[in-house]
Structure 1
């Protein structure tokens, strides 16, 4: 069987479980919870996979080896594991259930190593065994916060990680499918790793700023100043050779993307307020 079969199977099983959980529990916080857990996984993957080069996936979705590994990581760390955390929290599963699910992921990890579609460098399987229960416990804790706590910190953190998740996915596939741009900061010899490492920092900062602007309900001209500021930064990066653009791509398109992103954050915030009646 081709390598990607196992990753597609993981997506299908996880997605079916997610839909079943929504249907069965009627938990109104479930989508926000999943996006928060996925955003947290993105941050962890940035340090372990992109910066630390702790392991590598071989799903063989595409020819580009680095992006192919990121796609494998996306399936595992940003879909399957966050969905498992959301299922645990929504069904209020106990610690023994968490250990059983952790054992399941360890079995999958071990099997993936055996069939050579996943390779560990300095990362060890016992790291997974220790960190997954902690991650699952945090997932239960965060759902309780969403259900019971009306606080700006909960509001901002939820909005931020939702934004971070969606931004990371959108901008990754924008580069993967359309090859719009490439950041070259000289941190790594591999240009694709160099791009993702720098672009992730860009996304982390952008998501934080936009979430604060929306949460604080600043005046319209503040949004305008921020968008102009980012446009100037993009021009400067093109000018000094850090940012390379496709022939058909233009810096102005980044401004449109940022404006669209700002609107997305606004509607995510409205979704939180309307759907959950959580934040006033």
Structure 2
């Protein structure tokens, strides 16, 4: 059983709407303080999902999504992964954590994803290479457990968890921003004049992690000078990649460089205040 091409995106859209409603309901039922912690948990969950997807999808190509939303197959594949692993699953994890679902609830939702994956395979909108469906409920169950632990540590003000949460928040915004520019065909990473999108998605996560780490570092002690220093280092990294023809920019190059790094440092400042609000640090 396969689904017609023009309807390939429909299951992704339905799941996105359904799980968005679950997330919105969870935020609606919680207090202002809980909502802040849940928002930080959401970005952390997305950050964890992106790290997981990098070796599984980008490097070892365990499976392929076919939502048929974008014309380019590889970009379409990554978009499908973002919707599934970067939105739908993290939304579910936050919902389960918010309402403190126990072991049975986590198992139920893990099996729900098992059947969703089998359905997607039958519909022809998801293809497995070396990945086995049985891996999915096992790993998702573990992921739900991590979400609970992470949320509790955020509420307790665990310094290590708060620091990593800060990084995740900045990195998620950075990766999504770069992905939007890639969809618009405004930037591309790769070696040589002609490079593949596969190369792009091998380089971009590493690039984003490095620059997000530097941005977080620049706001750690406060003050204006560290931000300027990191900003200049970021520009030098981009200029070097540009000169080596590893970074291809179709936007005005200076505009891209400035916008990219101003946004990242601003996010680092904003999320630091949000993460450490009420924790005695700013």
RMSD of Structure 2 on Structure 1 (CA): 1.7
Matches within 5 A, 1:167-246: 167-177=174-184, 179-185=185-191, 191-217=196-222, 219-246=223-250
CA contact (8 A) 1:32 1:162 kept: yes
Q: TM-score, normalised by structure 1?
A: 0.92
Matches within 5 A, 1:1-280: 2-26=7-31, 27-28=34-35, 29-148=37-156, 150-177=157-184, 179-185=185-191, 191-217=196-222, 219-246=223-250, 248-274=251-277, 277-280=278-281
In structure 2, C-alpha distance between the alignment counterparts of 1:222 and 1:166, rounded to whole Å: 21
In structure 2, C-alpha distance between the alignment counterparts of 1:40 and 1:229, rounded to whole Å: 26
Summarize the Cα distance change of 1:126–1:279 in structure 2 as closer, same or farther, 3 Å threshold: farther
CA contact (8 A) 1:164 1:203 kept: yes
In structure 2, C-alpha distance between the alignment counterparts of 1:237 and 1:38, rounded to whole Å: 27
Summarize the Cα distance change of 1:213–1:151 in structure 2 as closer, same or farther, 3 Å threshold: farther
Q: How many equivalent pairs are there?
A: 272
Q: Deviations over 1:164-203 (max 9, x none)?
A: 11111111002212x22211137xx961110121011100
CA contact (8 A) 1:10 1:75 kept: no
Aligned-residue offset at 1:212 = 2.4
CA contact (8 A) 2:162 2:276 kept: no
Q: Mind listing any 5+ residue stretches in structure 2 that lack a counterpart?
A: none
Q: Deviations over 1:241-273 (max 9, x none)?
A: 212221x42145213320121012101111233
SS in 1 for 2:95: helix
In structure 2, C-alpha distance between the alignment counterparts of 1:259 and 1:231, rounded to whole Å: 11
In structure 1, C-alpha distance between the alignment counterparts of 2:218 and 2:244, rounded to whole Å: 29
In structure 2, C-alpha distance between the alignment counterparts of 1:107 and 1:240, rounded to whole Å: 46
In structure 2, C-alpha distance between the alignment counterparts of 1:172 and 1:161, rounded to whole Å: 16
In structure 1, C-alpha distance between the alignment counterparts of 2:93 and 2:230, rounded to whole Å: 35
Q: Mind listing any 5+ residue stretches in structure 1 that lack a counterpart?
A: none
Q: TM-score, normalised by structure 2?
A: 0.91
Aligned-residue offset at 1:10 = 1.0
